């Protein structure tokens, strides 16, 4: 097996409060390159919380998350931001695009934040990404001028902007109709099969999960099942 891109070691997240709430508990798992992973489970089971912890959006109460073998608990917020910028792309249930910017500008944002490419190259890459997802003709439009499926494709394009090896998707098809769901899922699958990315997606849709390489089932914040399916469609 390849070295893990993301690894959770004894990760627990407890929300402090009058009554502390345990979101995830004692999770150990490793995500390796080119995996297409489904995180499933009932509502409130801790799927999204696990995804945020793996994506360094949240800090575990105990345990550690390793990215490329590096511990992240001792990192500063800026270091974690840099890891997110370079190594992880996020896709959320709602597109979460910036409404005042064109979709090209939205896709360009992570590249501009990274600041490694000149302005023209950034725009060219953003347009190329949009074109590859069939949105070339819409590049000057703002998110509110697109359909839900189109917006989610823009969100995937933005997640890929800095060419990260891992895409973390939180119910990426949760708010889409069946046609758009098929399109977005197809794109995610192609990211793994054609572009060698690793995709970890939280989903309620067991039919989609059945088409993925690995299914991690979460119940009450714990990993109830972790199945690798060699014969999955992907």
Partner 1 sequence: MNLILTIAWTHVRHRARQTLVAIAGVMTGVGFSIMMAAMMEGSQDDFIKTLVDALPHISITDESREPTRQPADMVYAAAELHGLTPQVRRPGIKNPMAMIASLQSWVPGSLTPSVQSKALLRFAGRNLNISIVGIDPHTEVHVSNLGTHMRQGTLTSLYRSSNAILLGDRLANKIGARVNSNITLASAEGSNMNATVVGTFHTGFRAMDETTGYVLLKTAQILEKQTGIVNEIRVRADDPMAARLIAERIGEQTGYKSISWQEAQEDLLSAITLRNVLMYTIVGAILLVASFGTYNIISTITHEKTRDIAIMKSLGFRDHTIRAIFIVEALLVGMVGAALGWVFGYLLTRGLASLEFKTPFSDYNHLPVLYAVKHYVLATSFALLSSLIAGYFPARAAARLHPVDIIRGAT
> Is there binding between residue 121 and partner 1 (CB under 8 A)?
no
Tell me phi and psi for residue 26, to 5 degrees. 50, 55
Which region among 64-72, 81-89, 146-154, 207-215 touches partner 1 (by CB under 8 A)? 81-89
The total of other beta-carbon atoms located within 10 Å of residue 1's CB is: 6
Which CB sits closer to partner 1, 165 or 213? 165
Which segments of 33-111 are extended strands (E)? 36-40, 62-67, 70-71, 88-91
Closest CB 232 distance from partner 1, rounded Å: 27
Scanning the structure block, which residue is given the tokens 């990260």?
164
Tell me phi and psi for residue 158, to 5 degrees. -65, -40
> Is there binding between residue 75 and partner 1 (CB under 8 A)?
no
Closest CB 122 distance from partner 1, rounded Å: 10
d(CA 168, CA 47): 12
Closest CB 102 distance from partner 1, rounded Å: 10
Which CB sits closer to partner 1, 89 or 149? 89
Which region among 26-34, 92-100, 188-196, 208-216 touches partner 1 (by CB under 8 A)? 92-100
User: Residues of 20-48 as b/e, b for ≥16 C-beta within 10 angstroms?
Assistant: eebbbbebebebbebbbbbbbbeeebbbb
> Is there binding between residue 113 and partner 1 (CB under 8 A)?
yes
Nearest alpha-carbon partner for 48 in 168, 163, 131, 146 = 168
Nearest alpha-carbon partner for 85 in 58, 106, 55 = 55
Closest CB 114 distance from partner 1, rounded Å: 8
Closest CB 234 distance from partner 1, rounded Å: 26
The residue from 14, 30, 32, 57 that contacts partner 1 (CB under 8 A) is: 57
> Is there binding between residue 3 and partner 1 (CB under 8 A)?
no
First to last CA, the chain: 18
Which CB sits closer to partner 1, 61 or 211? 61
Tell me phi and psi for residue 213, to 5 degrees. -65, -35
> Is there binding between residue 100 and partner 1 (CB under 8 A)?
yes
| Residues binding partner 1 (CB under 8 A) | 48, 52, 55, 57-58, 77-78, 81-86, 88, 90, 92-94, 96-101, 105, 109-110, 112-115, 158, 162, 170-171
């Amino acid at each position: 097996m390849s070295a893990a891109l993301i690894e959770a070691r004894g990760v627990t997240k407890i929300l402090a409060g009058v009554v502390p709430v345990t979101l995830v508990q004692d999770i150990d798992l490793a995500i390796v390159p080119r995996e297409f992973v489904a995180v499933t489970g009932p509502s409130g089971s801790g799927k999204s919380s696990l995804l945020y912890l793996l994506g360094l959006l949240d800090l575990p109460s105990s345990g550690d998350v390793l990215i490329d073998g590096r511990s992240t608990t001792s990192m500063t917020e800026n270091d974690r931001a840099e890891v997110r910028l370079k190594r992880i792309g996020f896709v959320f249930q709602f597109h979460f695009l910036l409404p005042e910017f064109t979709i090209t500008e939205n896709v360009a944002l992570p590249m501009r934040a990274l600041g490694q490419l000149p302005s023209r190259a950034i725009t060219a890459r953003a347009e190329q990404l949009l074109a590859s997802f069939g949105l070339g003709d819409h590049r000057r439009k703002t998110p509110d001028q697109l359909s839900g499926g189109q917006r989610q494709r823009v969100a995937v394009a933005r997640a890929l902007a800095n060419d990260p090896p891992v895409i973390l998707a939180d119910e990426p098809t949760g708010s889409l109709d069946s046609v758009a769901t098929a399109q977005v899922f197809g794109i995610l699958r192609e990211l793994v099969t054609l572009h060698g990315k690793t995709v970890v997606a939280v989903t309620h849709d067991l039919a989609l999960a059945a088409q993925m390489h690995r299914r991690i089932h979460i119940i009450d914040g714990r990993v109830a099942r972790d199945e690798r399916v060699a014969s999955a469609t992907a």
